[in-house]
Amino acid sequence: MAKEPSKNTILGLSKNATTVLEKRYLRRDVEGKVLETPADMFRRVADTIAAADRKFDKKADVKKLSDTFYQMMTRFEFLPNSPTLMNAGRPLGQLSACFVLPVGDSMEEIFDAVKFTALIHKSGGGTGFSFSRLRPANDVVSSTTGISSGPLSFMRVFDIATETIKQGGTRRGANMAILRVDHPNIMDFIMCKADQKHLNNFNISVGMTENFMKAVEHDEEYDLINPRDKKVCGTLNARKVFQRIVKQAWENGEPGIIFLDRLNRDNPTPLVGEIESTNPCGEQPLLPYESCNLGSINMGMFVKDNTIDWKKLKEVIVNSVHFLDNVIEANNYPLQQIHDMTHANRKIGLGLMGWADMLIMLGIPYSSEEAVKLGKKVMKFINDEGHLASQELGKKRGSFPNYKGSIFDKKGAPPMRNATVTTIAPTGTISIIANSSSGVEPLFAVSYIRTVMDKNVMVEVNPMFEKIAKERGFYSEDLMQKIAEHGTVADIPEVPADVRAIFVTAHDITPNDHIQMQSAFQQHTDNAVSKTVNFPNTATIEDVENVYMLAYQSGCKGVTIYRDGSRDEQVLSTAKKEEHAAVAATPVEEDKKAIKRDRPKALKGQTHQMQTGCGPLYITINEDDNGLFELFTTMGKAGGCAGAQSEAIGRMVSLAWRSGVQARQVVKQLLGISCHCPSGFGDNRITSCADAVAKAIQDHMIANGYDINKERVTQERGACPECGGIVEHEGGCSVCHVCGYSECA
């Protein structure tokens, strides 16, 4: 009897997609056993979202609509954002990815925002904030006759709260922090992530104004405004501030920039409020207490006979707008204020993924003028048809409640169901599920090396490239291995020139090409476009400055850049990137190999006493000529579970160091782990024995002249922190294209 094909095979899921779904999306029981198939998940989502039609039409054919939604998702023509796939039809029921919360200039408002942040992160969402309302550091506080600590100190409170929620075992939260460029503490904000020890749960962006950018162009002074009384409290040279932003972004990718006046120029409801911030990846400007649910059309599914199937695309756009409007009704919001504001404006964000796939199928190079023109045409079609679909829903269901006074409120204008319709988001994990390229990004790699957990090395090849290579007779496993080691086919002569031209990667095209494509899509997008401008490691500060200015001049609403190898925590994914990293490595790092170091007969070291909730813990750290080598622990109280666990931690840390793992990575894994019996307060607080070990390592490194901030990850190629897969920088975030790990999810 023939073996029945699995539902995964029927859906056409790739191996990576199945891994991501089983690990992150499918329902599980209390013991972690998976309770549904991917087909079950899509049916659960389709049924839940279709059922919202009954709120508007008691006789609605919900079964037929559910089938439409199910087919659209299982054909991978459209997928909603991850929270909708995870939570629709489940008790949590929180379906939105994007939230913005206000941060007012009082202790009550600030800590209300901290509490609301925790509730949103607990529900699986990410949050954006503007800290521009907070009075500057050392400003007067009349209620206490004291002085204020400023926005940066309170950002750390939000960061710690986010870290705590992550440690509670829920889906990790992410934050966006924006500060206006005319805030008195702007220079401190620009530098706040320079050491990469703090605010690791934040992306940061400077909120630029038109006045500031004009002052940059003319090398003029501009005014700093105290938000407490709206009075001028100083001036800075705009060009010097701009150059500091650029230099810091060149060094580690942050801060990004957001053009606030442009966000508010396109604010559909100016009478309701001013846009101050965006979601964590920057593509969704929102008013305070707004949320937005996003979804993406997979463009690779609409190429038929070497041309775009516009008729089919229009059908999916109409159904996608219907789907996303229904999500607003089906959603279980974490706060009443968010429920009310979201229903009042009904913003949705329909975008796309698989753009690079479509260009490849059409034989159009990503960096060509033809690709830019097609990008404008495709996005105009999606935006226009999306607005028409929203108008049709408006005729049946009514306009969004804040329609009066909105940009749509004109004599004779049709009703409008949604204040915004289109957004281009990074599609990280859903593009893995759809087996498509991400967002409007070029390919990250044509072929790459994947190291799986048992240390077996596998070569992953783009399926379209593999198909073409086999059809044209130049496929071989040796060639795929060679391409994986390069990460690109640009300099591989065995690959025909016409194939090399269309299979370009993020690092094959110029930063200007990245901006031109972002600008093309921004012209016809209601909200903003999430895109990363990739630079080689050798890029200069002037290169970054030119791109920032080009983004401003070409109409972008913001820009995020990433210079290869510039962040301490970058996970290397191609041999070329390892070469870049080696340039910046210290002599000690270059000597470290991915092999276990033998122990000399004698080592030098120090013993640190740490007070834990289980009693004093003595931590001995020894070094050899290459750096930290081993760690031993002794509990003040003999025996017990705490002593055994501490000994185990010491053994594992020693093994890690002897095998080439950096000390900062050990600290990162252990720092802040909590147990039932913490000890101390403030800077002296020890939350567990593991936390004590991490703090002892930090103290040891500081005392012995180590620079913990400049240590570099030396993981194997492709080593995602969770699975060893390839990691891509997109939209200000890092996403693993094997297991779906995301630092912003």
Measured in residues, the chain has a length of 745
In the annotation, is 217 catalytic? no
Picking from 503, 479, 481, the residue whose alpha carbon sits closest to that of residue 493 is 479
Alpha-helical regions (H) of 587-742: 587-591, 640-658, 663-670, 689-703
The SS3 call for residue 648 is helix
CA–CA dist 642, 650 (Å, integer): 12
Query: ω before 255 within 30° of 0 (cis)?
Result: yes
Phi and psi for 298 in degrees, rounded to 5?
-90, 100
Chain centroid to Cα 349, Å, comes to 17
CA–CA dist 191, 245 (Å, integer): 8
Picking from 704, 681, 683, the residue whose alpha carbon sits closest to that of residue 629 is 704
CB atoms within 10 A of CB 454: 6
The active-site residue out of 98, 281, 720, 733 is: 281
Cα distance from N-terminal residue to C-terminal residue, the chain: 44
CA–CA dist 154, 213 (Å, integer): 28
- What single string gives the DSSP state of each residue in 115-134? HHHHHHHHTT-EEEEE-TTS
Q: Which two tokens stand for residue 311?
A: 């008729």
Rg (CA), the chain: 26
With tokens 């504001």, the residue in question is 341
CA–CA dist 85, 427 (Å, integer): 13
The SS3 call for residue 348 is strand
CA–CA dist 102, 287 (Å, integer): 8
In the annotation, is 237 catalytic? no
Picking from 608, 625, 630, the residue whose alpha carbon sits closest to that of residue 696 is 608
The active-site residue out of 279, 345, 527, 534 is: 279
CB atoms within 10 A of CB 374: 18
The active-site residue out of 254, 276, 283, 385 is: 283
In the annotation, is 345 catalytic? no
CB atoms within 10 A of CB 22: 16
Instruction: Categorise residue 415: left if φ over 0, alpha if ψ from -120 to 50, beta otherwise.
Output: beta
CB atoms within 10 A of CB 377: 14
CA–CA dist 699, 677 (Å, integer): 22
Q: Which two tokens stand for residue 423?
A: 């957004």
Q: Which two tokens stand for residue 342?
A: 């979201």
Half-sphere exposure for 570 (CA within 13 Å, toward CB): 25
Phi and psi for 101 in degrees, rounded to 5?
-115, 145
CA–CA dist 334, 637 (Å, integer): 45
Q: Which two tokens stand for residue 683?
A: 């800077």
Name residue 443's beta-bridge partners: 505
- What single string gives the DSSP state of each residue in 426-467? --HHHHHHTT---TTPPBS-SEEEEE-TTS-EEEEE-HHHHH
CA–CA dist 90, 79 (Å, integer): 18
Q: Cite the active site residues.
A: 279, 281, 283
